Amino acid sequence: MRIAYVDSSCCIAISLGEPGSRDLLSRLDRFDRLYSSNLLEAELKSALAREATSIVLRDFLPWMLWIFPPRRLTLEINQILEEGHLKGPDLWHLACALFLRSKVEDLAFLTLDKRQGSIAHSLGFRGF
């Protein structure tokens, strides 16, 4: 089974039809399960409001599996910060992915953010 954690940057790019979004959508469709933090919803809605559009080319929210960690993610956050600095939302998404990886083997991390992708790679994720 192919499983991926999806950062908001991917869903925003596809939803707004940004260049390269068709290829990205094809990549996402290859996975059996897609996970994200529920922060994705707020980030996606914010991007749509910023762009003054309600047109969504692909609605990810109904078929995304959500991660709700039952504890603080201090260990994961500290592990990430040892690799480098990220903005709060990027840090949270990567911490949620680290939390999920403890339960799911061979988890891919998908992002369009180069800094976040670089840190994900240094933490052993594939597929950024």
Q: Please report, for residues 34, 76, 101, 102, the alpha-carbon distance to residue 25 in angstroms, rounded to integers and kept in the order given.
A: 12, 28, 23, 26
Instruction: Quote the mean pLDDT of the chain.
Output: 90
Measured CA to CA, the distance from residue 98 to residue 114 in angstroms comes to 18
Measured CA to CA, the distance from residue 110 to residue 25 in angstroms comes to 11
pLDDT in tens, 92-119: 999 999 999 988 878 999 999 999 999 9
Residue linked to tokens 């594939």: 126
Q: Both tokens of residue 3? A: 């499983």
Q: Both tokens of residue 40? A: 């994705």
Q: Both tokens of residue 60? A: 């990810």
Distance, C-alpha 33 to centroid of its chain: 13
Domain ranges of the chain: 3-122
Question: pTM (2 decimals)?
Answer: 0.90
pLDDT in tens, 25-56: 888 889 999 999 999 989 998 988 888 876 66
Nearest residue to 3 via CA among 89, 126, 95: 126
Q: Find the mean pLDDT for residues 65-91.
A: 96
- Tell me which of 3.40.1710.10, 3.40.50.1010, 1.20.120.160, 3.30.420.10 is the CATH number of domain 3-122: 3.40.50.1010
Distance, C-alpha 31 to centroid of its chain: 14
